[in-house]
Amino acid sequence: MMITIYHNPRCLKSRETLKLLEARGLKPVIVDYLKTPPTPAELKSILKTLGLKPEALLRKSEPLYAELGLKDRKLDDDALIALMVENPILIERPIVVAGGKAAIGRPPEKILEIL
């Protein structure tokens, strides 16, 4: 089974999730999504697999979220996806995709549900 982790190496939860995968002998494809953001189509696919709307994947604690006034702005799904692709720091992390399923590693053990 191919496993992909959308990873931010500076994020504790992301590092913990990667360690959890590796401790189980799994070797995921690691995508440093800040350096290689998903395309709009990839992000739409991830959202569909997660069963989430784009707004649910936004990191509301990220300073850029406040700077852009996103709490008070009403953007449609396509605009939010474009915003996250342009500013991947706004994407919640880590995301693990495996076997047609996906989970956000918050807490890291949440990903065990899809393995």
Active site residue 11: yes
Contact (CB, 8 A) for 92 and 106: yes
Amino acid at 44: K
Residue 35's Cβ-count burial label (10 Å; 0-12, 13-18, 19+) is exposed
Q: Of these residues, 3, 7, 11, 114, which one is catalytic? A: 11
How many helices and strands (H and E) does the chain possess? Answer: 4, 4
Alpha-carbon Rg for the chain, nearest whole angstrom, is 14
Query: Active-site residue numbers?
Result: 11
